[in-house]
Amino acid sequence: MLDSTPREIIARTGAVINPAKTCQPIGAMYAALGIHRCLPHSHGSQGCCAYHRSHLTRHFREPVMASTSSFTEGASVFGGSANLKTAIKNVFTLYNPDVIAVHTTCLSETIGDDIPSIIKSAAIPPGKMVIHANTPSYQGSHVTGFSNMTKGMVNYLAEASLENKREQVNILPGFLNPGDMREIKRLTALMGVPFIMFPDTSGSLDSPMSGQFNMFPKGGARVEAIRDSGNSSLTLALGEYAASDPAYQLERKCLVPAVVLRTPIGIQATDALIMALRQHFVAEVPDEIEEERGQLVDIMTDLHYHFHGKKVAIFGDPDIVASLTEMVLSLGMKPVHLLTGTPNTSLGGAQGNFEATVTAMLEDAGLAGRVKAGGDLFELHQWIKNEPVDLLIGNTYGKYIARAEDIPLVRVGFPILDRGVHSYLPVVGYRGALRLMEMIDNALQDRVDRDARDEDLELIM
């Protein structure tokens, strides 16, 4: 399909071709699904909500519930206040969630609906609550939307109710799959540190089959837990773009110190997470974790010659691509093209500097490569045409480039629309790194086998 992409790169000013990001509201919807018994609410046209639900459903292969204000022509002229109030009333009557998490859309942002004052004047049953986040689609990306909704949780829920902080850590996992959130919780529990994770979509978007449809599955961060996050002695924000802004907000609001780490993909970023927990909570690293790390290092040494010197292109969400870059560098690979659709820091928009972070990693490794925030897949394809790679790592949209250039694709990130299981198993932590190594190794070695002539086909590799 992409055979016609020209090699010559000409600067564009008007059009994005084949986007490598999507809009804020879907990230906000996903984050809201990480609160227990919460129904995300899309304050905009019906289509936004339908598209977000479809997209999330395709990625997670789970029912995704969210309601919409169903804007009409009238609402977009006179404002959507009446729609939202009706919606809040109907949602509590019909679906009975504990929390409604309202996010805006480009439409309601542009017409300027004042969500806090609408919420204040809405009829909310006792014991129930409505929170909100502003998520204009024309700023940042879906990652920004995830961050903004997480910040909304801090704004509405977190409270510093104790004089002294508790020995517990807040973990803001960033825009990760439920399988990853589960793994981070497992590691933290193994460290023996009490924790509060929010949002937490494990048990919500990877819920087991029960023969029943539960509109509100067992998982998700409890409201009381998020409230108590103001009493924690530390917040670990995993990912600059997806988690730092809410962590700093929690610091400002409740004086919980924030530490921003990379998404724990690969040995270095996972070490950083474990060390942060150890240092702040004077915890011993248990044998189980030592063993997992040791196994990872063992496999890295066993297979290093499969990886060394292989050129790789990586695209996707900025926090994920940064950590993947660090990981492939640790394997001796050469990440030469690194691209995210999410733009660099902007006022009210994304918080993070992908280009600076990743360029520094390349410089440390003595490598040169193309690095871009706010790019699109057309440009990535042109880069690959100009400097071919052995491997592409990214979401499902990479399959067109992989096919056009005949390179293997390892699927990591969001969205993955053409394969299953990915959202259940981690890429984070030492175990996740093992899994990623297996995925990358299989892709590379399958290609060697495929391309080998009969006389060159090796049994032992």
Q: Which of 29, 34, 36, 41 binds other proteins (CB under 8 A)?
A: 41
Number of chain residues interacting with other proteins (CB under 8 A): 82
Q: Which of 28, 30, 31, 53 binds other proteins (CB under 8 A)?
A: 53
Length of the chain: 461
29 binds other proteins (CB under 8 A): no
What is the closest distance, in whole angstroms, from the C-beta atom of residue 93 to other proteins in the complex?
A: 7
402 binds other proteins (CB under 8 A): no
CB contact at 8 A, 420 and 175: no
Task: Give the phi and the psi of residue 314 in degrees, each rounded to 5.
Answer: -130, 135
Residue among 146, 186, 115 at smallest CA distance from 26: 146
71 binds other proteins (CB under 8 A): yes
Torsion, Cα 186 277 254 158, to 10 degrees, reads: 0
What is the closest distance, in whole angstroms, from the C-beta atom of residue 67 to other proteins in the complex?
A: 5
CB contact at 8 A, 384 and 405: yes
User: Is-cis flag, bond preceding 415, omega within 30?
Assistant: yes
Q: Which of 7, 9, 72, 288 binds other proteins (CB under 8 A)?
A: 72
What is the closest distance, in whole angstroms, from the C-beta atom of residue 45 to other proteins in the complex?
A: 4
Q: Which of 32, 33, 133, 136 binds other proteins (CB under 8 A)?
A: 136
Task: Give the phi and the psi of residue 72 in degrees, each rounded to 5.
Answer: -120, 180
Q: Using CB atoms within 10 A of its CB, is residue 165 exposed (0-12), middle (13-18) or buried (19+)?
A: middle
Query: Can you tell me the distance from the alpha carbon of 94 to that of 330, in angstroms, rounded to the nearest whole number?
Result: 52
What is the closest distance, in whole angstroms, from the C-beta atom of residue 449 to other proteins in the complex?
A: 28
9 binds other proteins (CB under 8 A): no
Query: Can you tell me the distance from the alpha carbon of 67 to that of 41, in angstroms, rounded to the nearest whole number?
Result: 5
Interaction pattern, residues 330-359, with other proteins; x per rule: CB under 8 A: -----------x------xx----------
211 binds other proteins (CB under 8 A): yes
Q: Using alpha carbons only, give the angle 182, 187, 192 rounded to the nearest 5 degrees.
A: 120
Q: Which of 79, 89, 268, 385 binds other proteins (CB under 8 A)?
A: 89
Q: Which of 163, 164, 209, 309 binds other proteins (CB under 8 A)?
A: 209
Interaction pattern, residues 226-265, with other proteins; x per rule: CB under 8 A: ----------------------------------------
12 binds other proteins (CB under 8 A): yes
Structure tokens at 446: 């399958």
What is the closest distance, in whole angstroms, from the C-beta atom of residue 53 to other proteins in the complex?
A: 5
70 binds other proteins (CB under 8 A): yes
What is the closest distance, in whole angstroms, from the C-beta atom of residue 331 to other proteins in the complex?
A: 31
Q: Which of 7, 9, 78, 90 binds other proteins (CB under 8 A)?
A: 90
Instruction: Give the bridge partners for 35, in sequence order.
Output: 221
CA distances to 186, 202, 228, 233, 242 from 197, in Å? 11, 10, 11, 14, 14
